[in-house]
Amino acid sequence: MPKTSIVPCHTYDAAAVRAALIEALTPLGGLDFICPGMRIGIKMNLVTRKNYHAAVTTHPVALAELARLIQERGGQAIIGDSPGGPFSAAFLRSLYGPAGLSIAEKAGAQLNYDTRIEKADFPSGKILKTITYTGWLADCDAVITCAKFKTHAMLGMTGAVKNQFGIVPGLMKPEFHALYPKVSDFCNMLIDLNEFIKPQLAIIDGIDGMEGNGPSAGTVRHIGCLIASDSVYHADVVMADLMGLRPADMPLIHAAHLRGLAPETTDELSLFGSADAFRMEDFKNLPCGNVQFGGREDSALMQIIRSLLTRRPSVDAHACIGCGLCARNCPAGAIQMKGIPKFHLRKCIRCFCCQELCPKEAISVKAARLNHIGR
């Protein structure tokens, strides 16, 4: 039975974060799996060029203190990710600065600039039979995924499982959205990535998280905890519960449950610590895709009806600078630039890459049009 812990931590003071990490990891066996000379990949959440105070990226102090603990076991910590955009050393360098990773580097962590792309057969995958992934992870003896506590426009929450989408080279991400537009397929693709990489540990930075228009344009929300687990899926069950959600309603957790990888309630967890002090009934969540997986493909009429009943992207014309980044990265080709983006909702697959990548936070997720009728 996987073990999961939740511990209080209300500040990014290095000593407090170190103490919280030790407390959270101790029930899981700590870092006893690390032997001298091992290379430990820390898969952070980098996402985009944002200052770390915005709670978009994994906080650098959490990464730095985790790296120190790894080094004390004789291991070498390598921090990396592949956010949306080119998987190049220059692009990574441009993101590492705002993410505050010099703090982790000063603590002895190595920042990844290896931009090799590897392929591996994965016959046990449900969706992915071949995995294309960032090559720096191939040289790691173990991976610790260090995620951020955030909402997500497509899946409701980011968390530990979704964090592994960052092993897909940046420019391939829109292709994956186009290949797997159904929420169930996209979730199972993410689970395949996790089953391939098999993170040794999952840590979710919930000291400050993000609510509202996540994963990159929401509002900072102080939560005051760290979550740790030897199962990425169990870590997400706790996170969903803290967000005031029923874990069973979250597509990724539901998909993992169907594959025997996750419970759908916290009652079924081996949990150290109490979630009660951190549960937020007023957390500003985003609605997500239906968890009722399976059944026939929609007819053309049902696709039209569904487009009227589901969420949609919306642009703030005053904030938009007309850069066209959203249109260039739309996997469905559903955006046309006419000064500002125009969304073709019948083509839109509701991946919300446009919202996630907008440098000016000009795109948000709006409720379905029919939801407003009669109000």
- The domains found in the chain, sorted by start residue, are 3-278 (3.40.50), 300-372 (3.30.70.20)
pLDDT at 309: 53
pLDDT at 307: 52
CA atoms within 13 A on the CB side of 43: 34
Contacts of 295 (CB under 8 A, 6+ apart): none
Q: What is the 3-state secondary structure (H, E, C) of 99-168?
A: CCHHHHHHCCCEECCCCCEEEEECCCCCCCCEEEEEHHHHHCCEEEEEEEEEEECCCEECHHHHHHHHHC
Burial of residue 29 (CB within 10 Å: 0-12, 13-18, 19+) is: exposed
pTM of the model: 0.88
- Rounded Cα gap, residues 355 and 213, in angstroms: 8
pLDDT at 20: 98
- Rounded Cα gap, residues 165 and 154, in angstroms: 13
pLDDT at 350: 85
Contacts of 89 (CB under 8 A, 6+ apart): 113, 115
3-state secondary structure of 335: strand
- Rounded Cα gap, residues 230 and 190, in angstroms: 17
pLDDT at 105: 98
Q: What is the pLDDT along the chain (375 residues), one digit of tens a residue?
A: 999 999 999 999 999 999 999 999 999 999 999 999 999 999 999 988 889 999 999 999 999 999 999 999 999 999 999 998 899 999 999 999 999 999 999 999 999 999 999 999 999 999 999 999 999 999 999 999 999 999 998 899 999 999 999 999 988 998 999 999 999 999 999 999 999 999 999 999 999 999 999 998 899 999 999 999 999 999 999 999 999 999 999 999 999 999 999 999 999 999 999 999 999 999 999 876 555 454 444 455 545 555 555 678 889 999 999 999 999 989 889 999 989 999 988 888 888 889 888 888 899 887 655 444 333
Q: 251-258 vs 232-242: helix axis angle to the nearest 10? A: 140
Length of the chain (residues): 375
